[in-house]
Amino acid sequence: MEVTSGSFSMVAEEDSEDLRKDGAEEILERITDLVNKTLAEDGSYNILLSKEAILSAIDTGKSEGGPSGRHWVLDPIDGTKGFVRGGQYAIALALLDEGRVVLGVLGCPNLPFTSVSNLSGSSSGDQTGALFSAAIGCGAEVQSLDGSPPQKISVCTIDNPANASFFESYEGAHSMRDFTGSVAEKLGVQAPPVRIDSQAKYGALARGDGAIYWRFPHEGYRETIWDHAAGSIVVTEAGGVVKDASGNDLDFSKGRYLDRDTGIIATNKQLMPSVLKSVQEAIKEKKQASSPL
């Protein structure tokens, strides 16, 4: 509704297929009532949506993206298991312009506003909820969900891996922990990993809560653009760098999936060379160990 000129394109994780199946009438009715109640309470739009309008809105996200034009990229609940568990999750929205991420917003309702300070991704402070935003060339900001003034953020300046801490996925299925443990050992990282769900890790890294975020899924997993578009620009605009395991920038112009080498690494500019070196050494050793004699 806000985009009044030109065509509207969105790449999103969800579609309405399950809600169109037999037996889904009750849940669709509940969703429609909840959406209309939320719209009425918010007051920004004076509209009432039908069930079909809800289904059509969900299916707006079927675009394939690509290198041409503008495409919004949405993950409405990034970190679904964290959401269900009462842990970390994020609402992640980004804008692609000619295949390049130019805008990113991360809403992290359960993330401590000040700092993540322990293994569960929580802190001793009471205030939770953080909204991160970044636009190309304008830096990155965070504000609380109650509408506090935005504050500029920047990645940490640690240059010694021994003093660095790192984020990785909470779910073991999302990361090869033996491999990341080997990389951490090569780097000389002393701190244990901080494991939290979703792109909240990108936000926490961008404001300096930790020094490194890496993601090395199991073989055969394909990374989607909605899992990284918003988070990556928040980190890069906060002065960080995001690369694949070969040291290449992430390429968001290839459609719904990232065309990238094994693994994704986000850190500051001082640490990236040593992190890449350790990752590439670990990959080489892993290949040698798995190849027949």
- 227 assigned to a ligand binding site: yes
Is 157 a residue whose pLDDT tops 90?
A: yes
Q: Tokens 């988070």 label which residue?
A: 231
* Lowest-pLDDT choice from 11-25, 92-106, 171-185, 275-289: 171-185
Name the token pair of 249.
């920038």
d(CA 36, CA 30) in angstroms, rounded, equals: 10
The Cα–Cα gap between 74 and 225 comes to 9
244 is in an annotated binding site: no
Q: What is the pLDDT of residues 23-72, one digit of tens each?
A: 999 999 999 999 999 999 999 999 999 999 999 999 999 999 999 999 99
pLDDT at residue 175, as a whole number: 76
**Parallel/antiparallel/unpaired status of strands 166-168 and 128-135:** unpaired
pLDDT at 11: 97
pLDDT at 121 over 60: no
pLDDT value at 120 more than 60: no
Q: Quick one: pLDDT at residue 8?
A: 86
Pairing of strands 100-112, 128-135: antiparallel
What domains sit in the chain, N to C, each tagged with a CATH number?
A: 7-63 (no CATH), 161-290 (3.40.190.80)
What tokens were used for 207? 């404001």
Residue 78 counted as an annotated binding residue? yes
Q: How far apart are CA 139 and CA 236, in angstroms?
A: 8
Nearest-angstrom CA–CA distance, 265 and 14: 26
The per-residue pLDDT for 258 is 93
Structure tokens belonging to residue 96? 């692609």
Q: Is the model's pLDDT at 75 over the cut of 90?
A: yes
CA–CA dist 230, 140 (Å, integer)? 11
- pTM for the whole thing? 0.93
Q: Is 42 annotated as a binding residue?
A: no
The arithmetic mean of pLDDT across residues 11-21, rounded, is 94
How buried is 280 (Cβ within 10 angstroms: 0-12 exposed, 13-18 middle, 19+ buried)?
middle
Span 108-133, average pLDDT: 80
**What whole-number distance in Å separates Cα of residue 237 and Cα of residue 198?**
19
pLDDT at 6 exceeding the cut of 90: no
> Residue holding tokens 């917003």?
105
Residue 99 CB neighbours (<10 A): 16
- Predicted local confidence at residue 5, as pLDDT: 74
33 is an annotated ligand-binding site residue: no
Q: What is the pLDDT of residues 234-247, one digit of tens each?
A: 999 999 999 999 99
Integer Cα distance of 205 and 201 in angstroms: 6
What is the overall mean pLDDT for the chain?
92
